[in-house]
């Protein structure tokens, strides 16, 4: 391997690690933050009321979370077979079931994309709300509705244990695919990440 190829591979590998590591740590970090907030609310209001606030009162975030999974699964070619936006009984707040389709690489992309969707869609939605919607309603009482929506989405843009398990199934193949794409882009002189 020539020196420039080694350099390109090194840069692409580091950028791939930053991309996937960033998504994982943001999702997992938000999960920990949400648990801390739930713990605080449970200590102040009692377990039942605290969990009701975090899990049920912020139902808009749950709907956003589940629709994100469904959207990314659908956009990558998986067959979405069930969407449960709100589940008021059991351990899960909602769920999306999908069947990966296509070859092994495409199925890996579908699994990973659907798993990380709440982090990506949550970040994009929050950016758009904060950047464009909040300024329009800053002087109005309507702003509190948007604050509620933003907090709800923020609390649910986490990676659940199921999301992490699903992501891990497709991660090695998707990591290699992104690595190759970054190598090609760097070689062609594109500024990627």
Query: CB count, 10 Å around CB of 81?
Result: 10
User: Is the pTM above the cut of 0.85?
Assistant: no
pLDDT reading at 153 higher than 70:
yes
Structure tokens at 98: 């999908």
Poorest-confidence range of 60-64, 98-102, 163-167?
A: 163-167
pLDDT on residue 97: 94
pLDDT tens-digit readout, 73-127:
999 999 999 999 988 766 678 889 999 999 988 998 999 899 989 989 999 999 9
Q: What is the pLDDT of residue 61?
A: 94
Give percent of the chain above pLDDT 90: 40
d(C-alpha 15, C-alpha 9), whole Å = 10
């Amino acid at each position: 391997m020539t020196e420039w190829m080694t350099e390109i591979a090194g840069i692409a590998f580091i950028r791939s690690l930053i991309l996937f590591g960033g998504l994982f740590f943001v999702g997992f970090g938000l999960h920990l933050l949400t648990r801390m907030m739930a713990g605080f609310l449970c200590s102040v209001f009692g377990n039942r009321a605290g969990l009701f606030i975090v899990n049920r009162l912020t139902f808009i975030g749950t709907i956003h979370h589940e629709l994100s999974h469904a959207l990314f699964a659908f956009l990558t070619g998986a067959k979405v077979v069930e969407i449960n936006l709100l589940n008021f009984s059991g351990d899960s707040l909602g769920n999306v079931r999908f069947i990966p389709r296509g070859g092994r690489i495409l199925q890996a992309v579908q699994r990973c994309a659907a798993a990380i969707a709440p982090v990506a869609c949550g970040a994009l939605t929050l950016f758009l709300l904060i950047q464009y919607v909040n300024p329009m309603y800053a002087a109005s009482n309507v702003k509190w509705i948007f604050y509620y929506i933003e907090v709800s989405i923020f609390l649910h843009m986490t990676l659940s244990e199921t999301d992490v398990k699903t992501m891990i199934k497709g991660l090695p193949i998707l990591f290699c695919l992104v690595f190759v794409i970054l190598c090609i882009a760097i070689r062609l002189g594109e500024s990627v990440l």
